[in-house]
């Protein structure tokens, strides 16, 4: 995959907070229509990397490109509209009901009511959310329902790219299991380019075409899950894989 045909690319990107380097010279590209999982321990820079990808943060050095266009202040809003983003914890506005949360950007862009309704209907079917729930406020929804609403909001404008920051992070195991299946179905049905953050290796293996393990702001290893399991790049990768107890990776 050449860089020019990648949907998203980072070139030598570096980012520090208060002189403390958080992302260190990261090079990566995401081929169109594929799902990449970012994994790594808490604090390794996963959310920061996602924010750099959609321009919420500017790199100190290096560049971020979306479909070959460098992300700069002038094209930020138009490029961001091509990226659906679900922040960690969902980020729904508490004072807006589910419908208002989902249609916020479409309303802002003055979409016709019929267009909004038909898009809402398609998204309800896709995410298996009951229509009645659209009138509820976030605090009146369960964790799983909130995640579905956050996903609908991210998909509303039919973006080419989806950036999902631990979209299933706070859910109990059974709901998480069901939503993982649904997410996988959604990725396959829509053919979007997806970057998904998770700290769970088995979730990454299940949902993504490729995984990228971050360690203190650097890429420790990128590849298929079987590469990380059977051909770990270094001792950290080996430890990270071993630490996910209870998983049998031997079938990979
Ligand atoms: P992860 O998502 O992998 O848990 P983050 O990307 O959120 O990690 O954070 C990486 C590091 O950068 C952490 O040490 C965090 O405290 C720090 N950090 C993140 N955002 C900011 C910020 N806006 N200001 C200062 N430090 C930050
Ligand atoms: Mg995070």
Q: How far is the CA of 167 from the centre of ligand 2 (A)?
A: 11
- Residue 5: name the closest of 31, 34, 35 by CA: 31
C-beta neighbour count of 72 within 10 angstroms: 12
Domain range summary for the chain, segments of one domain joined by +: 1-82+161-245, 92-158
- Can you identify the CATH homologous superfamily of domain 1-82+161-245? P-loop containing nucleotide triphosphate hydrolases (3.40.50.300)
pLDDT at 169: 77
From the CA of 22, how far away is ligand 1's center (Å)? 7
From ligand 1's centre to the CA of 23, what distance in Å?
Answer: 10
Ligand at minimal distance from the CA of 87 is 2
User: Would you state the structure tokens that stand for residue 76, as one six-digit string?
Assistant: 């930020």
User: Do the beta carbons of residue 203 and residue 46 sit within 8 Å?
Assistant: no
Beta bridge mates, 189: none
What are the residues whose beta carbons fall under 8 Å from the beta carbon of 79, sequence distance 6 or more? Answer: 55, 66, 67, 69, 71
Better-scored residue on pLDDT, 192 or 80? 192
At 175 the pLDDT is 81
**Which residue in 164, 144, 173 sits closest to 39, CA to CA?**
164
Residues 92-149 pLDDT 10s: 999 999 999 999 999 999 999 999 999 999 999 888 889 999 999 999 999 889 989 9
Give Rg (Cα) of the chain.
18
pLDDT at 51 over 90: yes
Counting from 1 in the atom list of ligand 1, the atom nearest the Cα of 88 is 2
Of the candidates 7, 83, 35, 34, the one whose C-alpha atom is nearest the C-alpha of residue 196 is: 35
Give yes or no for a contact between 56 and 71, defined as CB atoms under 8 angstroms apart.
Answer: no
Strands 61-66 and 69-70: antiparallel
Q: Output the CA 237–ligand 2 centroid distance in Å.
A: 19
Tell me, what's the pLDDT at 186? 86
Residue with CA nearest ligand 1 atom 14: 43
Strands 83-86 and 161-165: parallel
Q: What percent of the chain has pLDDT over 90?
A: 68
Neighbours of ion ligand 2 (CB under 5 A): 46-47
Ligand nearest to the CA of 44: 1
3-class SS of residue 150:
helix
Ligand 1 binding pocket mutation candidate from 48, 56, 89, 167 (most atoms within 8 A of CB): 48
Q: Is 40 left (phi over 0), alpha (psi -120 to 50) or beta?
A: left
Q: Give me ligand 2 centre to Cα 170, in Å.
A: 12
Full-model pTM: 0.91
d(CA 12, CA 32): 20
**pLDDT over 60 at 233, yes or no:** yes
Residues with CB under 6 A from ligand 1: 17, 22, 40, 42-48
Cβ atoms of residues 55 and 76 within 8 Å: yes
* Ligand 2 centroid from CA 113, angstroms: 36
């Amino acid at each position: 995959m050449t860089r020019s045909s990648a949907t998203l690319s980072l070139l030598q990107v570096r980012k520090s907070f208060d002189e403390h380097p958080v992302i260190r010279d990261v090079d990566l590209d995401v081929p169109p229509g594929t799902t990449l999982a970012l994994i790594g321990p808490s604090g390794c820079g996963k959310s920061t990397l996602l924010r750099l990808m959609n321009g919420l943060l500017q790199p100190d050095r290096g560049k971020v490109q979306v479909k070959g266009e460098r992300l700069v202040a002038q094209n930020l809003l138009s490029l961001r509209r091509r990226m659906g983003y679900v922040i960690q914890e969902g980020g729904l506005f508490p004072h807006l009901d589910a419908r208002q949360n989902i249609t916020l950007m479409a309303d802002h862009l003055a979409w016709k009511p019929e267009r909004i309704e038909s898009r809402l209907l398609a998204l309800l079917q896709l995410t298996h959310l009951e229509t009645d729930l659209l009138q509820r406020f976030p605090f009146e929804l369960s964790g799983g329902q909130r995640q579905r609403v956050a996903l609908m909001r991210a998909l509303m404008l039919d973006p080419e790219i989806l950036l999902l920051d631990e979209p299933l992070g706070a859910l109990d195991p059974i709901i998480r299991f069901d939503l993982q299946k649904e997410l996988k179905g959604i990725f396959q049905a829509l053919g979007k380019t997806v970057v998904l953050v998770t700290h769970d290796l088995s979730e990454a293996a299940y949902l993504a075409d490729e995984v990228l393990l971050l360690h203190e702001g650097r890429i420790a290893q990128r590849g298929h899950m079987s590469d990380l399991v059977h051909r770990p790049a270094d001792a950290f990768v080996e430890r990270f894989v071993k630490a996910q107890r209870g998983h049998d990776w031997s079938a990979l």
